[in-house]
Amino acid sequence: METKRKSSFTGSLGFVLAAAGSAVGVGNIWRFPYLAAKDGGGLFLIIYLVLVLTFGFTLLVTDVAIGRRTKTNALHAFGNINKKWTFLGYVTFLVPAIIMTYYSVIGGWILKYLSVYLIGSGTEAAGDGYFTSFITSPVSPIFFMLVFLAFTAFIVYRGVEKGIEKFARIVMPGLLLMIIGIGLFSLTLKFREADGTIRTGLQGLAVYLIPNFDGITPARFLEILLDAMSQLFFSLSVSMGIMITYGSYVDKEVNLNRSLSHIEIFDTAVAFLAGMMIIPAVYVFFGTEGMASGPSLMFVSLPKVFEAMGPMGPFLGLAFFLMVLFAALTSSVSIMETLTANCMDIFHSARKKTSLVICLIFAAASVVICLGYNIFYFELTLPNGATAQLLDLMDYISNSFLMPFISLLTCVFVGWIVGPKWICEEMEASGHPFSRKKMYVFMIKYVTPVIMAVLFLQSAGVFNMFS
Ligand code: PHE
């Protein structure tokens, strides 16, 4: 009897769950809502949805099909197809390495809020200035970050990712239900300002859903496009080698077309609903001015929502942060696992030793990121119009700058050198039709390379030089 490769997924459900575990994380619940709010709600939402169905799908198909066809990880996959392109595999490795420096910092923030609800101080967390005083304090953010990183490293060290994937079956649907429930509650919120103006959740929903074209210039449109595209890369975990590795574990019989659509839909639904849970609440409590508050958005607004729920609030807060913590862990494990596997491959080292060294390196890097809110504080204006501290800068370098660059190269490679047929054959290898084939071919050859080149230049600030 043929023995199954240790790391191959059990059928398409195993693959979908593992990929969704990697995809659904703080990107959906923390990053998506704050970008949507910053970029004015409805317009960002529409642009994002269009991008997911076109670019997101194209990039996801490309990564997973390359992985399954070459049966190897990103480091070797490109070189396997064409020796001259080996470098691209190594470039993709940079992205998880940068993301890992700040992912645990956000994981730590979630852990902190979980502990707040655990000890019953939810009311305090709903107070103004609570989040800022937490992240600017010297020790607490570092402590929680280290605990989160230790959890992640422990799972990778033991090599038990498969075990936690089982949890994904319970946590993912649970998280989805909670987000829907809290989102519906947010719509019922109401707030009266000192001057008597009343803001309601439904007005907030309108801000989230209805595009507002006031004051949109071509430059502003490009900014929003870049934000939406960076979110797409980050959220779907594409163009960073992870989905290539996952693809290499998928059996030939799996209907990729259907599995990838499920991942795409699930990831987007969670992000959309997270926006519905957070943005109307921000609007109700802080008005339109509060929408631009950036990375703090979820941590500032949700405690207020839980507070408004009355006696049930603290329990829901606890359950919510527990599930978000879990979603964040499945993602950070996928990032650290990629780093570990790649280093084991490059240095021919053992898993335990490699994961320990990686954990130490990223602990040091993440401490520096935490200190970006006190000792190393600065305010830098990025080409997307945001004011950045260290964490945002790292996020920008990986998601807005490096990823369009990697996607550009990948699309040129697949579209023009290997040829899209190579990918299409893999998509049809299970005997199922590749339903968006025509669109895929057109996207990968013409649209994606052009848009990625434009976004890359935009992210490097080239267009800003002319304005
Ligand atoms: N996609 C994950 C999220 O949305 C983050 C992630 C990024 C995971 C990169 C793996 C690789 O939170």
Average pLDDT along the chain, 467 residues, taken 10 residues at a time: 50 81 92 92 95 95 96 92 95 94 97 96 92 96 98 86 67 87 93 91 95 88 92 92 89 92 94 94 90 89 91 91 91 91 92 95 98 95 87 94 94 96 96 94 96 91 72
Q: Which is the closest atom of ligand 1 to the Cα of 25?
A: 12
Report yes or no on whether pTM surpasses 0.75: yes
Å from CA of 96 to ligand 1 middle:
9
56 lines ligand 1 (CB under 6 A): no
Q: Measuring CA to CA, how many Å separate 160 from each of 97, 256, 306, 328, 337?
A: 21, 25, 34, 16, 10
Nearest residue by C-alpha to atom 8 in ligand 1: 331
334 lines ligand 1 (CB under 6 A): yes
Pick from 82, 73, 152: nearest CA to 111:
152
Give distance in angstroms: CA of 236 to centre of ligand 1: 7
Residue 464: DSSP 8-state: G
Ramachandran assignment for 348, one of left (phi > 0), alpha (psi -120 to 50 degrees), beta (any other): left
As a whole number of angstroms, the distance between CA 346 and CA 349 comes to: 8
End-to-end Cα spacing for the chain: 67
Measuring CA to CA, how many Å separate 351 from each of 8, 95, 154, 267, 359?
Answer: 18, 21, 12, 30, 12
240: its two tokens: 């960073």
30, 231, 237, 242, best to mutate for ligand 1 pocket (most atoms within 8 Å of CB): 237
Question: Rounded CA gap, 211 and 207, in Å?
Answer: 8
Residues 23, 265 contacting (CB under 8 angstroms): no
pLDDT of residue 1: 34
**What is residue 184's predicted lDDT score, i.e. its pLDDT?**
95
Judge if the beta carbon of residue 339 lies within 6 A of ligand 1: no
CA torsion angle 202 319 233 398 (round to 10): 110
The CB of 237 under 6 Å from ligand 1? The reply is yes
Closest Cα partner for 102 from 396, 394, 403? 394
Assign 200 to helix, strand or coil. Answer: strand
Residue 129, number of CB atoms within 10 A of its CB:
9
What is the rounded CA–CA span in Å between residue 92 and residue 98? 11
Residue 465: what pLDDT? 67
Pocket flag, ligand 1, residue 22 (CB < 6 Å): yes
Please give the CATH topology (third level) of the domain spanning 11-466: Hydantoin permease (1.10.4160)
Q: What pLDDT sits at residue 466?
A: 63
Structure tokens belonging to residue 94: 């940079």
Q: Closest by alpha carbon to 321, among 338, 336, 333, 303?
A: 303
Query: How many Å lie between the centroid of ligand 1 and the Cα of residue 108?
Result: 16
Q: What residue spans define the domains of the chain? A: 11-466
Ligand 1 atom nearest to CA at 95: 9
Q: If you measure from the C-alpha of residue 372 to the centroid of ligand 1, how many angstroms do you get, rounded to a whole number?
A: 22
Residue closest via CA to ligand 1's atom 6 equals: 237
Query: CA dist 375 to 136, 365, 379, 462, Å?
Result: 9, 14, 13, 31
Mutate to test the pocket of ligand 1, among 234, 246, 263, 397 (most ligand atoms within 8 A of CB): 234
The two tokens of residue 2 are: 């043929």
